[in-house]
Amino acid sequence: AQSVTQPDIHITVSEGASLELRCNYSYGATPYLFWYVQSPGQGLQLLLKYFSGDTLVQGIKGFEAEFKRSQSSFNLRKPSVHWSDAAEYFCAVGPSGGSYIPTFGRGTSLIVHP
Amino acid sequence: DVKVTQSSRYLVKRTGEKVFLECVQDMDHENMFWYRQDPGLGLRLIYFSYDVKMKEKGDIPEGYSVSREKKERFSLILESASTNQTSMYLCASRPGSGNTIYFGEGSWLTVV
């Protein structure tokens, strides 16, 4: 069975500092991997996704993520955080093809200090 | 852009009431989903549908039912609302040949 672990429930950073949010997955084959962001009171917006190819994936809002098969990780990064990045971030994993159902992590809440 | 619309953003219902949460997507997606989101628990799948009139139970279907009479519309039904169903409900859709899920803005339901 597939699973996703986001080890950090909360992360606090200062505005302008770099950010890394961790995501570890468990899946037998090559997974499809996603990062979503949820602003307060809103639905989830796709930040980026990895299906195959280059393991460093660029997304919207200046985010990137790196797929590391050896570590079963798909960590999200941003070099300089803005106050508007404060939100909940969800990692998700899904098998390729078919009528798959993705599995979501429990989320990491990002707090940005001025 | 894909648009998933949840018509009711905020609802307050009484215990025992029948509640309908409506979701419409405008991109002809085959697959539609209903999730429940609670603090510390992330997203939990209630039901999904991969075609009109087809439905499958997710992880937490108890106390819920769904209806999909048209491809673009997926309704979540609480037959008899209870206070433990107070939550944020998220609808989502995905094309049959694609892998990205698109979410609506969510419906906040309070059962008193």
**Tokens found for residue A100:** 């798959």
Indicate the length of chain B as a whole number: 112
- Give yes or no for A22 touching B (CB within 8 A): no
CB-based contact B41 A104, cutoff 8 Å = no
**Tokens found for residue A58:** 């660029």
Chain B hits for A51, CB-CB cut-off 8 Å, are 99
Residues 6+ apart with CB under 8 A from A61: A37, A47, A78, A85
CB-based contact A106 B42, cutoff 8 Å = yes
Q: A44: closest CA among B19, B42, B50, B111?
A: B42
pLDDT at A103: 87
pLDDT at A106: 93
pLDDT at B82: 97
pLDDT at A97: 52
pLDDT at A41: 83
pLDDT exceeds cutoff 90 at A81: yes
pLDDT in tens, A2-43: 789 999 999 999 999 999 999 999 887 778 899 999 998 888
Distance from CA of B69 to the nearest CA of A (A): 19
Residues 6+ apart with CB under 8 A from B109: B11, B13, B19, B21, B78, B81, B85, B86, B87, B88, B89
Q: B36: closest CA among B107, B99, B112?
A: B107
Chain A hits for B40, CB-CB cut-off 8 Å, are 9, 106
pLDDT at A98: 52
Quote the DSSP letter at residue B84. G
Chain B hits for A36, CB-CB cut-off 8 Å, are 103
**Tokens found for residue B43:** 């997203």
pLDDT in tens, A93-112: 886 555 567 889 999 999 99
Instruction: Tell me which residue in B40, B43, B96 faces A90 most closely, judged by beta carbons.
Output: B43
Chain B hits for A107, CB-CB cut-off 8 Å, are 42
Q: 3-state class of A52 per DSSP?
A: coil
pLDDT at A99: 52
pLDDT exceeds cutoff 70 at A73: yes
Q: For residue B30, what is the nearest residue in chain A, using CA coordinates?
A: A99
pLDDT at A100: 67
Low-confidence residues of chain B, pLDDT below 70?
1-2
Backbone angles phi, psi at A33, to 5 degrees: -125, 145
Q: A36: closest CA among A27, A22, A48?
A: A48
> Taking a C-beta distance cutoff of 8 angstroms, is the pair B106, A41 a contact?
yes
pLDDT at B69: 95
